[in-house]
A and B are shown apart, each in its own frame.
Chain A
Amino acid sequence: MNVVVCVKQIPDPAVPGELESDHTLKREGKLILDESDSYGVEMALQLVDKAGGGEVTLISMAPNSEVSGLRTALAMGAAKAILVSDGALAGADALTTAKVLAKCVERAGGIDLVLTATESTDGYTGTIPAQVAELLGWPSLTFAKQVDIDGGVAKIQRQTEAGYDVVAANLPAVVSVTAGVVEPRYPSFKGIMAAKSKPVDEVTAHDLGLSDEAIAPNQTITTVAAAPAREAGEKIEDDGTGFEKVVEFLDGLKVI
């Protein structure tokens, strides 16, 4: 079974974010693999292993030929990657990104399953999985908290407001996985060394057959403003009676 995993390389979320003057996200310094995507990578590796054959291909769109996040996922065990790095895609909206990723799936060829996170940690538009599926003309199984592949059918537990639904579709299909669906492995030293020589196929939007018109953004940021700050209240050290202070606070709010 051949699986594609969509992965995003993002600025370290622990560092406070900033915008460039053109309102795109500042991407200085090393980008890292979005932790949300590590679940998809792990899931893909496990599914290929279980199927007894095939490989995992990563696809990613990032500026400046960025590969540091891809190398992390390659070190986990993915076989190869397609990287779309193209200045024309700076500030691309979710639909444009989905068009690029869908073209990458076609470029990879012979793919049975595409795995994604439910949304990225930085942009979090949250529409890419179903957009990629619609572009490919495939079914999408979204918000999976468990995934089983058997006999050419993908069956998932789909998160719902009330619990979960069991949803199934024939392959090829797109599946988006929620965080925590599997325990991502840490890359081994051997994996890290091997990742350095794994192939990364770097392409532009034109290489994928996308016209300038197809990738033109159709939204404009009009204003950026600081949100009103919230004042900090009282902060006390617990000396064993902190709970009394809490009871008093709850009493004051009339919630107990």
Chain B
Amino acid sequence: MKIWVYAEAEGDAPTTATLELVTKARELGTVEAVYVGTNAAAVAPELGAYGVAKVFAVDAGESLAGVMGAAAIASLVEAEAPDLILFAQTYDGRDAIARLSVKLDRTVLTNGMTLAVDGDTVTVGTAIFGGNTLVDTKFGGEKPCLAAIRPKSFVAEPGGAAAAEVVSVGTPDAGRGAEAKVLETHVEEREGPKLEEATIVVSGGRGIGAAENYGPLVDELAKLLGGASGASRAIVDAGWVPYSKQVGQTGKTVKPKLYVALGISGATQHMVGMKGSDNILAINKDAEAPIFSVADLGIVGDVHKVVPKLIEALKARG
């Protein structure tokens, strides 16, 4: 089976989510990548080290990467005939798979957490109802199959170790889609590790009471533990923190060594994104909150009382 991975990078390094997909794809068949960006030559060696044989490099100009990536893939599919195209469930990955599904008139399976190939049949596994139910869905219709996989579903491991050949495919015709242009890029300062890659995640929910409490409770504890701060959907919807911090079904999946839930009740929407953590600590004043059903340690108490004392105790330890 010939598998394509829609590769993304940060600077010259492929993202972890990309390398996870490449690692999985390597088990299932031969792997090639499509990369949108002008630095493909710099990104290709690491992709090669994970088993990518060839990188199709797309120049998006000022246009959105996913839109241009989809147009490029659509123009290559007939000649190259990939059987399966994998995307990470990311902002650009979602733009790309959506646009491509229309261009090729193919169904999509997204939010995948498992991937299996049996002969010609491709099956994607997803979790629904807060991760309580697992559903496998197989593709019908013509190849290629289009699937988006949630980051952290597979473990990235080098292998294959071939040099990846870079094939430039230029700038495709994306019609009016190309009119969406990136005018400015703003990088927000982040202290500590990335949310999806942190070994410790501290998240806040409605129980923290107000937007201004997020810093002193959630950020502060995350910083002391060397972790990243996250959030439940409720406080993202309320506009307290940006969408990029959201953990859960419609946000990110995290699997840290330790997940700390502060004032989070544990709606199914949230649980699906953090149930895979090695250890879970929950502090919530509602003793009946569902979060306690998955917590290794649950403190029934007010986060405004427990967390400041905890922060003080951790600081005292130095």
Please state if A129 and B297 are interface contacts (CB–CB under 8 Å): no
Q: In the complex the two chains form, is B106's CB within 8 Å of A218's CB?
A: yes
A contact patch SS: mixed
Contact A249 B187 (CB under 8 A): no
A255 to B127, CA, bound (A): 30
Complex CA–CA separation, A137 to B140 (angstroms): 26
- Let me know if A49 is at the binding interface, CB within 8 A: no
Cβ of A31 under 8 Å from chain B? no
Contact A232 B298 (CB under 8 A): yes
Could you say which residues of chain A place their CB within 8 Å of the CB of B281? Answer: 246, 249-250
- A13 interface hit (Cβ, 8 Å): yes
Q: How far is the CA of A168 from the CA of B181 in the complex (A)?
A: 6
Is A170 an interface residue when CB atoms closer than 8 A count as contact?
yes
Q: Output the residue of B148, B176, B233, B293 with the most chain A CB within 10 A.
A: B176
- Least CB separation from B239: chain A residue: A180
Greatest chain B CB density within 10 A among A124, A126, A135, A161 is at: A161
Decide: B177 and A133 in contact? CB cutoff 8 A.
yes
A167 touches B182 (CB 8 A): yes
| Chain B minimum-CB-distance residue to A19 | B133
The yes or no answer to B236 lying at the interface (CB within 8 A) is yes
Are B237 and A35 in contact (CB-based, < 8 A)?
A: yes
**A243: interface (CB < 8 Å):** yes
Q: How far is the CB of A193 from chain B (nearest CB, A)?
A: 28
Contacts of B140 in A (CB 8 A): 217-220
Identify which of B134, B176, B194, B307 contacts A137 (C-beta below 8 A): B176
Which segment, of B76-84, B87-95, B159-167, faces chain A? B87-95
- Contact digits for A148-178, partner B, Cβ 8 Å, 1 yes 0 no: 0000000101111111111111100100001
Check A7 for interface membership: any CB of B closer than 8 A.
Answer: no
Q: Are A256 and B314 in contact (CB under 8 A)?
A: yes
Q: A179 contacts B310, CB within 8 Å?
A: no
Interface mask (A86-123 → B, CB under 8 Å = 1, otherwise 0): 00000001110010000000000000000000110100
Q: B177 to A139, Cβ gap below 8 A?
A: yes
Return the chain B residue nearest A241 by Cβ.
B309
Does B302 count as interface, using CB distance less than 8 angstroms? yes
Contact of B141 among A19, A23, A141, A218 (CB under 8 A): A218
- Which residue of A142, A157, A169, A245 is within 8 Å of B95 (Cβ)? A142
A230 close to B (CB within 8 Å)? yes
B123 and A225 contact, CB distance less than 8 A: no
Residue of B10, B300, B313 near A236 (CB, 8 A) is B300
Structural contact, B180 and A140, CB atoms closer than 8 A: yes
**Closest Cβ–Cβ distance, residue A13 to chain B (whole Å):** 7
From A141, A245, A255, contact of B257 by CB (8 A): A255
Query: Any chain B CB within 8 A of the CB of A20?
Result: no
Contact A95 B225 (CB under 8 A): no
Q: Tell me the complex Cα distance, A132–B228, Å.
A: 35
Instruction: Report whether B186 and A224 are in contact in the complex, using a CB–CB cutoff of 8 Å.
Output: no
| A125-B111, A227-B134, A233-B298 as given contacts; A98 in contact with B177, CB under 8 Å | no
Q: A21 at the A/B interface (Cβ < 8 Å)?
A: no
Cβ B133 vs Cβ A225 within 8 A? yes
B contact residues around A134 at 8 Å (CB): 70, 98-99, 102-103, 177
> Using a Cβ–Cβ cut-off of 8 Å, how many residues does chain A contribute to the interface with B?
86
- Return the contact of B258 from the options A139, A141, A245, A255 (Cβ within 8 A): A255
B128 within 8 A of A: yes
Q: Which residues of B lie under 8 Å from residue A22 when comparing CB positions?
A: none
Q: How far is the CB of A121 from chain B (nearest CB, A)?
A: 7
Interface residues of A in 223-256 (CB under 8 A from B): 223-227, 230, 232-238, 240, 242-247, 249-250, 253, 255-256
CA–CA, A109 and B88, complex, Å: 35
Please judge, given known A-B contacts A166-B182, A180-B238, A246-B297, whether A140 and B94 are in contact too, CB under 8 Å. no
Is the pair B244, A161 in contact by a Cβ cutoff of 8 Å? yes
Which among A135, A167, A238, A255 is the interface contact of B180 at CB below 8 angstroms?
Answer: A167
Q: Which residues of A contact B300 (CB under 8 A)?
A: 235-238
Contact A233 B295 (CB under 8 A): yes
Distance A14 CA – B141 CA, assembled complex (angstroms):
36
Instruction: Report A-chain residues with C-beta under 8 Å of the C-beta of B154.
Output: none
Given that A121-B250, A242-B306 are known contacts, is A180 also in contact with B102, CB under 8 Å in the complex? no
Task: Show 16 residue pairs from A and B whose CB-CB distance is below 8 angstroms, ordered by the A residue.
Answer: A94-B107, A94-B110, A126-B110, A145-B243, A161-B10, A180-B239, A218-B107, A218-B140, A227-B133, A232-B292, A233-B296, A235-B297, A237-B300, A242-B301, A245-B299, A247-B317
Known: A95-B108, A157-B186, A230-B275. 14 other contacts (CB 8 A): A95-B106, A98-B102, A119-B250, A127-B108, A130-B94, A131-B99, A140-B180, A162-B190, A165-B184, A166-B186, A169-B179, A235-B297, A243-B306, A246-B297
| A-B interface, 7 closest residue pairs, ranked by CB to CB distance from nearest | A238-B301, A130-B98, A127-B98, A180-B239, A233-B296, A163-B188, A134-B102
Footprint of A on B, CB under 8 Å? 10, 64, 66-67, 70, 89-91, 94-95, 97-99, 101-103, 105-111, 123, 127-129, 131-141, 148, 175-188, 190, 194, 199-200, 225, 233, 236-240, 242-244, 249-250, 257-258, 267-269, 275, 279, 281, 283, 287, 292-302, 305-307, 309-310, 313-314, 317
